[in-house]
Amino acid sequence: KAGVTQTPRYLIKTRGQQVTLSCSPISGHRSVSWYQQTPGQGLQFLFEYFSETQRNKGNFPGRFSGRQFSNSRSEMNVSTLELGDSALYLCASSSMAGGDTQYFGPGTRLTVL
Amino acid sequence: AQSVTQLGSHVSVSEGALVLLRCNYSSSVPPYLFWYVQYPNQGLQLLLKYTTGATLVKGINGFEAEFKKSETSFHLTKPSAHMSDAAEYFCAVSGSGGYQKVTFGTGTKLQVIP
């Protein structure tokens, strides 16, 4: 089975712009979670989608949003980018919602200038 | 509510020495516990997990962890460190049952000294 794929792998944006990141889960997985990883804050949970519904949400401002499509692919959007949004954004898929083994993609490295 | 505490953000061991990475958790429901490893510029990879049953869990690459409910701990060990074990290790907890959020610890960077 193909693993979790994330596109793009690297992205450079400027403050105020918006960005959309994409995640394709492992075939058959219906849950997709998003995490932000930074040296200072570590791995922080953004949100989880299961069967197109947001099941859990972390403590991030409304500028961070996501969605999941009927084929389980997920997108994450960040509007009005700030310098502090520079991070590695990781996507993970699992067959069930929460509590199950998560399989991570390689991440998208976002740099905000 | 749930949380994970990993003691020591950096741990150094000599090649061939015992690896011990500490993880304590809190959970209001029976937990599922995980250890993940992250190599530079890569995503996380599952090392092992505990759900129910045997409290000593064996994972990949010679790692194992023991669930100790009385101590709320899930420490990761490996008898003999290898240079390739140098990476960052994350402990994670989730409540059992559906729709439970996974909470990760802050990570421990393992350095292996030749």
Per-position pLDDT tens, chain B of length 114: 788 999 999 999 999 999 999 999 998 778 899 999 999 888 899 999 998 888 899 999 999 999 999 999 999 999 999 999 999 999 999 876 656 778 899 999 999 999
Q: What is the pLDDT of residue B97?
A: 64
Which of A88, A91, A83, A81 has the alpha carbon at shortest distance from A108? A88
Mean pLDDT of chain A: 92
* Contact check, Cβ <8 Å, B98/A99: yes
Measured distance CA(A33)–CA(A56) in Å, rounded: 9
Q: How far apart are the first and last CA of chain A?
A: 37
Contact A111, A86 (CB under 8 A): yes
**CA–CA dist A97, A6 (Å, integer):** 20
Q: How many of the other CB atoms lie within 10 Å of CB of A56?
A: 18
- Provide Rg for chain B, Cα atoms: 14
The whole-number pLDDT of residue B101 equals 77
Residues in chain A: 113
Q: Residue A29 contacts by C-beta under 8 Å, 6 or more apart in sequence?
A: A72, A93, A94, A95, A103
Contacts of B10 in chain A (CB under 8 A): none
Nearest CA in chain A to B47: A101
Cβ–Cβ of B99/A56 closer than 8 Å?
yes
Chain B residues with CB-CB distance to A43 below 8 A: 90, 104, 106-107
CA of A105 to nearest chain B CA: how many angstroms apart?
5
Query: Hey, is B19 helix, strand or coil?
Result: strand
Q: Is the pLDDT of residue A75 over 80?
A: yes
Nearest to A106 among B43, B98, B102 (CB): B43
Count CB pairs under 8 A between chains A and B.
61
State whether B101 and A45 contact (CB < 8 Å): yes
- Residue A103 touches partner B, C-beta closer than 8 Å: yes
Which neighbouring-strand residues pair with A53? Answer: A50
pLDDT score for A34: 96
Q: Does A107 touch chain B (CB under 8 A)?
A: yes
Q: Which of A102, A110, A111 to mutate to test the interface with B (most CBs of B within 10 A)?
A: A102
**Which residues of chain A have a CB within 8 Å of the CB of B107?**
42-43
- What is the token pair recorded at A27? 């075939």
Residues B4 and B91 sit within 8 Å (Cβ to Cβ): yes
φ/ψ of residue B12, rounded to 5: -115, 135
